[in-house]
Structure 1
Amino acid sequence: MDKIFQKAVPILEQIEDAGFQAFFVGGSVRDYLLQREINDVDIASSATPSEIKTIFAKTVDVGIEHGTVMVLHERAGYEITTFRTEGNYTDFRRPDSVQFIRSLQEDLKRRDFTMNAMAMDKNGQIIDPFLGKKAIEGKLIVTVGNPDERFREDALRMMRGLRFVSQLSFDLDGQTLQSLKNNGALLENIAVERIYAEFEKLLKGKNRKKAFHLLSESGLYKFLPGFKSLGKTLEILQTLNIEKLDDPVELWVLLLVIGNIEDTEAFLRIWKMPVKQIREIGRLRFHVEKGTDFTEDKMALFHSGLNEAAKVTKIIAVLDHFNGNEAEWKVKEAFHRLPIHSLKELAVDGNDLVAWFAQRPGPWVKEEMELILSAVLREDVINRKTDIKGWLELCNRI
């Protein structure tokens, strides 16, 4: 058993000593079987929130209406959720009510996929009533029970399924895929922010091509914000070497360029994307479509910075079907050769110009600073105050 579980075993033992059941559940058990890194563990118990609070001295109410209490133990927090069943999902997002129960199997029965519906006791024994281990061995994503029912309960589960396809390189089983085809329209009941969060995780997965394929095959893409006309774009993406791209922003740029989306900002705002990310994607798209060669355009390299310049270079390489490793290396070399890497390193500032030109401050200062910056980057002048002043005099600027 992994150390992260071992540290939490005393929590399970304390609950059991009080006469209740307690198990590790959900994604941590799945990832343990898959030998993936585990960042935290979830615990389910037959004890109610009030009973948990009597067992442990230090607790925090983090979702007590849904049966969840955090227990503080040795500088760590562990969320403990009471076994429960759920009422109807009239909004296709969350249950109208929850009812606390004493049955582990009934609790596992309400979960989305069989690989997430397993539990593990303090001794490492797996409780697997819905054959989650078999699904993992077959690399299949299978819903617990009827997929139509699971997706009608929470339509976001359809996006979660595709996210797991991307992250784990699993397939959807036949019934689950068919259910995606039947129930895609239910996504329209889900908040865009929740869809965006799942789609971002999908874009970070290693097998995005397979996820894009199933997004196309199922027709689910038609119900993503702004994606209704992007079926062909998704097909093209599957033909490109997108494995070279590490950051979701790079894939968003590909989508925008291949999909010929006119207004970058308007499209991304539909997704309720953070403004900072929208601006970065806009800058990257500008240079991708311009075809900026950062080894030649030193001003563009300086203003973009190495991180964004490298991203642009990778995206162009993917679009043009060539290995971008050498091009990316050349961009890094060009950046490291720049005389300066930030404006703070420039030997002069606006106050120097105001004194030399004997003029009042104004927009002209910024214009002159850009000229000086460009000259320093081209190495037309040494980045030293006396040399820059001499260069300005030589150019009849002062």
Structure 2
Amino acid sequence: MNDTLFQKAVPLLERLEQAGYEAYFVGGCVRDYYLGRSISDIDIATSALPEEVKEIFPNTVDVGIEHGTVLVLHNGEGYEVTTFRAESDYKDFRRPEKVVFIRSLYEDLKRRDFTMNAMAMDRTGRVVDPFNGKEAIRHRQIVTVGKAEERFSEDALRMMRAARFASQLGFDLEDGVFTAICRNAGLMQHIAVERKRNEFEKLISGRFRKKGLKLLLETGLYIYLPGLESNKKELEKMLTIVCTSLTLQQMWLLIAVLVSGDKPVEFLKAWKLPSKTIKYLLSGLTWMKKRRETPWTQWDVYDAGLSVAVDVEKVHSVLYQDEDMTEQIQTLYENLPIKHRKELSVNGHDLCMWFQKKPGPWLRACLEEIEKAVLDQKTKNEKEKIKEWLKRCNRL
């Protein structure tokens, strides 16, 4: 075991063991280490109860203590340390009735979703793999721990997680897992939109996102995702588009273009996206229509903003298999005399003084006129030059 993140966390395992408890790295970090993927965070499982963990480590935060998780602060880093646990019968196909703390690693791993996520690794790098997660990884398969129908009836979101892992890893679903999802897709109606969105965003950001999208279609999961239930043909079209290079935001824009129709606000709100994101995507949709009709001008790039213009261009180029004009957009933007109205050398107060008039609708119209004159380089962005231009145009 030579990964730096693990090495930094080894002292926590050592201290737990010195205190008489078991401690292991678990879950996604072990899976990704075995796969040779980059590891972003470390999860630790232990036989120590939350109160016992807090006695061992001086600096802790109760981030999810009711579920057995304590955040341990060590050398400037935070590590989630969770007590081995078993979960009772699930309610509403999404959460357990109660969590029971236990001392058995096997029983803790047994409650997990997929075999590749049910591996543990000790401080020396020895892997504990009671459910053959390594074998599933070797065969590039997503296999549930135990019966797939039981795992999905416990938490229906696990079906979306299966599709998401297929998108991220390029793995196939084991036959029994695929069949179980087809049979139980309807349970997704019990899952909160926010949880669905979290998995969906990871899916459409995955390296093998087409595989994930195809699974949503083949299993019927798409029917239970906001605004997608009656858009099978549009989703199938996504499978023909080379969209792997698109960012998450660009993927949302692409999806909105294909499926939102004349009700984009309703579609985006149904996903409970942040209002800032909705506003951004609505602007992108407006510019997508204009981009379809005419190429970018300097004024367009200024008006849209660089971020929106680039996102629109990327989506336009993959959707219509058109030339990607991103470099030209960058050049247009870099050559702008100003990047925002706030950069104008004059403001409303100046204009009121010059025109000897009170603020009113005329003020905004005049500022827009000056703004366009500066962008068209009819005048320099200097207060006196702008005043001279206004006089030449008989505005003053």
Calculate the TM-score normalised by the size of structure 2.
0.96
Instruction: For residue 308 of structure 1, report the CA deviation from its aligned partner.
Output: 1.2
Partner of 1:73: 74
Q: 8 Å contact 1:177–1:218 — kept in the other structure? A: yes
Matches of 2:81 and 2:115, distance apart in 1: 21
Aligned length: 395
Q: Name the SS of the counterpart of 2:272 in structure 1.
A: coil
Name 1:345's counterpart in structure 2: 343
Q: 1:25 to 1:129 in 2, by over 3 A?
A: same
Kindly indicate whether the alpha-carbon contact (under 8 Å) linking 1:294 and 1:300 is maintained by their aligned counterparts in 2.
Answer: no
Distance, in Å, in 2 between the alignment partners of 1:294 and 1:309 is 13
In structure 1, list runs of 5 or more residues that go unmatched: none
Alpha-carbon spacing, 1:256–1:57, altered in 2? closer, same or farther (3 Å): closer
- Counterparts of 1:57 and 1:259, CA distance in 2: 53
Aligned AA (2:140): K
TM-superposition CA deviations, 1:166-204 (whole Å, max 9, x none)? 111222121111111111111111111111111111122
Matched, 1:272 2:251: no
Match of 1:257 in 2: 257
Post-superposition CA distance 1:18-69 (Å, at most 9, x none): 2211111001101111222212211111122222223233332222221222
The separation in 1 between residues aligned to 2:370 and 2:233, in whole angstroms, is 47
CA–CA distance in 2 between the matches of 1:359 and 1:50? 71
Counterpart AA for 1:372: I
Task: Tell me the equivalent position of 1:232.
Answer: 233
Q: How far did 1:264 drift?
A: 1.2
Determine the C-alpha separation between the residues in 2 that align with 1:337 and 1:69: 52
The share of aligned pairs that are identical, in percent, is: 50
Identify if the C-alpha distance between structure 1 residues 352 and 155 changes in structure 2 by more than 3 Å, giving closer, same or farther: same
Equivalent runs, 1:1-398 vs 2, <5 Å: 1=1, 2-246=3-247, 248-291=248-291, 296-324=296-324, 327-398=325-396
Query: Residues 205 and 57 of structure 1: is their aligned pair in 2 closer, same or farther, counting only changes over 3 Å?
Result: same
**Pair 1:395–1:189, CA change in 2 (3 A):** same
2:315 corresponds to which letter in structure 1? I
Aligned to 2:204, what secondary structure does the other structure show?
A: helix
Deviations 1:91-121, CA, capped at 9 Å, x for gaps? 1111101222222111101000111000000
Q: Which moved more, 1:140-149 or 1:299-308?
A: 299-308
Which amino acid is 2:321 matched to?
H
d(CA) in 2 for partners of 1:295, 1:386: 34
Deviation of residue 377 (structure 1)?
Answer: 0.8
Q: Flag structure 2 segments of 5+ consecutive residues without an equivalent.
A: none
Structure 1 position 213, deviation (Å): 0.8
Q: What RMSD, in angstroms, separates the aligned Cα atoms of the two structures? A: 1.6
For the 8 Å contact 2:260–2:267, the answer to whether it is kept is: no
Q: Distance in 2 between matches of 1:146 and 1:227?
A: 29
Deviation at 1:265, TM superposition (A): 1.4
